[in-house]
């Protein structure tokens, strides 16, 4: 009897049932469907690209997630109604995609430098503009505006890795990928659904 009580105490009646070993976790971004069509990168909405740098085609040492959004060209016609209707309609009719691209060490450090330039420009131009408005010096206001505009243009040209151009069904068409990178992808016209 004491042996049976000892066995009963070792078994916990409130313990969760034991099942098979848990499966290996599934990666969230498993879709690796991408193709080339001349100078265009054709891909799906959520995509992890190959392990090559998107800028030069060399082996990638890091990955960067880029969120892209766009709307159809006919939405620009709503500008005839004014800016506010355009922004409202564009906000509700835009498409979004998340793309994970590879970067080599050189392009990853270049991207970091551009981000650093951007935040430096913000840190300098905001107090510069506040001081210019407080002192009412038109030259300082103009200099702050030119500095912010130049930094904004430099950043908008360098930071986006891919820029969306159009969408046909489930396929997204992007510009900005290097020819060396595109050469690592299969041809769009020979794909099999």
> How far, in Å, CA of 42 to CA of 172, rounded?
6
**What is the pTM assigned to this prediction?**
0.61
Q: pLDDT (tens digit, 0 to 9) for every residue of the chain, 193 residues total?
A: 555 555 555 676 666 666 555 443 333 333 357 888 888 888 876 677 777 888 888 888 888 888 877 787 888 898 899 889 998 998 888 877 778 888 888 888 888 888 888 788 778 878 887 887 788 777 887 887 887 787 777 777 667 778 787 777 777 888 888 888 888 888 887 766 5
pLDDT value, residue 84 = 92
pLDDT at 25: 35
Q: At what angle do helices 105-135 and 138-158 cross, to 10 degrees?
A: 160
């Amino acid at each position: 009897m004491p042996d049976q009580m000892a066995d009963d105490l070792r078994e916990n009646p409130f313990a969760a049932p034991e099942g098979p070993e848990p499966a290996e976790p599934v990666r969230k971004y498993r879709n690796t469907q991408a193709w080339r069509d001349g100078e265009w990168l054709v891909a799906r909405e959520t995509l992890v690209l190959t392990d090559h740098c998107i800028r030069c085609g060399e082996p990638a040492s890091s990955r960067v997630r880029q969120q892209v959004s766009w709307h159809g060209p006919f939405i620009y016609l709503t500008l005839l109604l004014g800016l506010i209707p355009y922004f409202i309609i564009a906000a509700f009719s835009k498409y979004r995609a998340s793309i994970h691209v590879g970067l080599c060490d050189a392009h990853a450090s270049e991207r970091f430098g551009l981000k650093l330039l951007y935040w430096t420009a913000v840190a300098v131009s905001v107090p510069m503009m506040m001081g210019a408005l407080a002192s009412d010096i038109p030259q300082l206001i103009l200099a702050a505006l030119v500095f912010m505009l130049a930094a904004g243009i430099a950043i908008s040209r360098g930071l986006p890795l891919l820029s969306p151009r159009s969408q046909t069904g489930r396929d997204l068409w992007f510009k900005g990928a290097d020819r060396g990178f595109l050469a690592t992808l299969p041809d769009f016209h020979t794909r099999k659904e």
